[in-house]
Amino acid sequence: MTENGTKGWKIPDLFREQLDTLKENSVAKITYFAHRQADPDAICAAAGLSLLVQRSFPDRQFESLIILPQGASVLGEKVSSIFGLRTHFKVDPVTVKESDLIVVVDSGDRHLLEPYLDPISESSAKKIVIDHHASSLENESWKGFDYKIIESKSTSTCEIIALGFPPAIFSREICRILLTGLMFDSQHLGLAGASTLEAALILVNGGAEIPDTKKILRYKPHRSEILARLKASQRLQFEECNGRFLVKGEVSSFQASVARMLVDIGADVGIAFGESNAEARLSARSTQSFYKETGIDLAEEIRKVANHFGIVGGGHSTAASVSGKIEPSALANQLLQNLKGRLLQK
Ligand SMILES: [Mn+2]
């Protein structure tokens, strides 16, 4: 494939435009960022994109760096090690500042790039964001970014990347990497739209396999996580309010995993809370139907509780968390009381 083979394709065209501004024989320093605690979509998007950019411009030399601020999720780490991806959790801010090009993928909000926000904004590099998270704060969040490819109908960032390059330049390994991210964020195609399937077909035709990807994404909890779930189960408390089950469990670690488990066994809202490293941690999850039918947004509810106690919290509409120096049960009770208040208003 010559360089011309990628002409007319959105993503390589954008990179070509940037590379043309650099000295002809210089090494192009491109820094890719995924969001903090990177999940498989973020990692696979960053890795797949950096490989595709290199293949799109075979005559150029690259120094590509993939940064996962504050590390990766458990599945993210598994995916990195299976594909042997070179990623960095910590780098010298000067390296970021001196990049020729900064590319952020899958991040939703620039605060998820901390602690690298300062070097990113101080850098004179052109900045690109490629994402599928829609946000009302998009303009605010990506202020100072030169190019935004944000497609909120895509179920993953890997889908956007798979559809953004000519299929002829995909290697089998790139296809496997991108299909893994696509499968993860589309909930194993459960949320797939036509373009998700189109992207998946390109990747499968390129040598990736769905059963292989599902195996990579299989998550086996460690003994400590299983123990946390079992202990929380012994102490479960639930109440029914206006036809909704609100379930809480106290546990000193793995609160997110326990909250998810509570929803898995039938809770409309699962709340796991406990003391960890001398502070209270609480994680809450709800079902999609709870959010859609009641309009109760957990991120909002968690923010209210956090403000009430003067601590920090936030998240998404069906998954949110809060932590701070306070009595853990007071935190859980305040959240429950607010949720019941909202449910009884309906
Ligand atoms: Mn994603």
Torsion, Cα of 252, 297, 72, 141 (10° steps): -140
Same domain for 251 and 185, yes or no, is: no
Same domain for 67 and 198, yes or no, is: yes
261-273 pLDDT, tens digit per residue, is 999 999 999 999 9
Cis, bond preceding 93 (omega within 30 deg of 0): no
Same domain for 181 and 204, yes or no, is: yes
Task: Please name every residue paired with 269 in a beta bridge, in sequence order, or none if there are none.
Answer: 246, 286
- Cα 157 to middle of ligand 1, angstroms: 5
- Cα 41 to middle of ligand 1, angstroms: 5
The pTM (predicted TM-score) of the whole model is 0.79
Spacing of C-alpha 178 from chain mean position? 14
In the block, residue with structure tokens 């969040």: 141
Amino acid 215 reads K
Per-residue pLDDT for 139 more than 80?
Answer: no
Q: What is the structure's pLDDT at 87?
A: 95
Q: What is the CATH number of the domain that holds 121?
A: 3.90.1640.10
Q: What is the CATH number of the domain that holds 304?
A: 3.10.310.40
Q: What is the structure's pLDDT at 54?
A: 96
Q: What is the structure's pLDDT at 152?
A: 86
- Cα 159 to middle of ligand 1, angstroms: 9
Same domain for 286 and 166, yes or no, is: no
8-28 pLDDT, tens digit per residue, is 999 999 999 999 999 888 899
Total residue count of the chain as it appears in this document: 346
- Cα 178 to middle of ligand 1, angstroms: 12
Q: What is the mean pLDDT of residues 126-153?
A: 85
Task: Please name every residue paired with 245 in a beta bridge, in sequence order, or none if there are none.
Answer: 240
Q: What is the structure's pLDDT at 346?
A: 65
Cα–Cα distance list, 269 to 261, 298, 318, 343 (Å): 11, 9, 9, 12
Q: What is the structure's pLDDT at 136?
A: 58
Is residue 176 helix, strand or coil?
Answer: helix
- Cα 330 to middle of ligand 1, angstroms: 34
Is residue 22 helix, strand or coil?
Answer: coil
Q: What is the structure's pLDDT at 293?
A: 96
Per-residue pLDDT for 3 more than 60?
Answer: no
Per-residue pLDDT for 91 more than 90?
Answer: yes
Q: What is the structure's pLDDT at 171?
A: 97
- Cα 190 to middle of ligand 1, angstroms: 15
Range scoring the smallest mean pLDDT among 126-140, 164-178, 236-250: 126-140
Amino acid 150 reads I
Amino acid 20 reads D
Residues around ion ligand 1, judged by CB within 5 A, are 41, 106, 157, 185
- Cα 155 to middle of ligand 1, angstroms: 7
Same domain for 166 and 248, yes or no, is: no
Q: What is the structure's pLDDT at 338?
A: 97
Q: What is the structure's pLDDT at 4?
A: 60
Give the model's confidence band at 318: pLDDT under 50 very low, under 70 low, under 90 confident, else very high: confident
Give the model's confidence band at 321: pLDDT under 50 very low, under 70 low, under 90 confident, else very high: confident
Q: What is the structure's pLDDT at 42?
A: 96
312 phi and psi, to 5 degrees?
-110, 135
- Cα 76 to middle of ligand 1, angstroms: 12
Same domain for 29 and 130, yes or no, is: yes
- Cα 102 to middle of ligand 1, angstroms: 18
Handedness of CA 35, 38, 41, 44 (dihedral sign): positive
Residue ending a domain, choose from 216, 250, 271 = 216
Same domain for 237 and 135, yes or no, is: no
Residue ending a domain, choose from 169, 189, 216 = 216
- Cα 286 to middle of ligand 1, angstroms: 19
Same domain for 121 and 269, yes or no, is: no
Same domain for 184 and 82, yes or no, is: yes
Q: What is the mean pLDDT of residues 158-167?
A: 97
Q: What is the mean pLDDT of residues 127-151?
A: 84
Range of the domain at 186: 3-216
Same domain for 249 and 311, yes or no, is: yes
- Cα 39 to middle of ligand 1, angstroms: 8
Please give the Cα distance from 129 to 262 (Å, whole number).
35
Same domain for 47 and 183, yes or no, is: yes
Q: Taking a C-beta distance cutoff of 8 angstroms, is the pair 293, 310 a contact?
A: no
290-302 pLDDT, tens digit per residue, is 999 999 999 899 9
Amino acid 98 reads E
Per-residue pLDDT for 109 more than 90?
Answer: no
User: Domains in the chain: how many in total?
Assistant: 2
- Cα 182 to middle of ligand 1, angstroms: 8
Residue ending a domain, choose from 163, 195, 216 = 216
- Cα 215 to middle of ligand 1, angstroms: 19
Mean pLDDT, the chain, rounded, equals: 93
- Cα 291 to middle of ligand 1, angstroms: 20
Give 17 or 316, the one with higher predicted confidence: 17
Of 33, 242, 25, the closest CA to residue 119 belongs to 33
Please give the Cα distance from 243 to 257 (Å, whole number).
24
Same domain for 90 and 123, yes or no, is: yes
Instruction: Show Cβ contacts of residue 337 under 8 Å, excluding neighbours closer than 6 positions.
Output: none
Q: Taking a C-beta distance cutoff of 8 angstroms, is the pair 19, 57 a contact?
A: yes
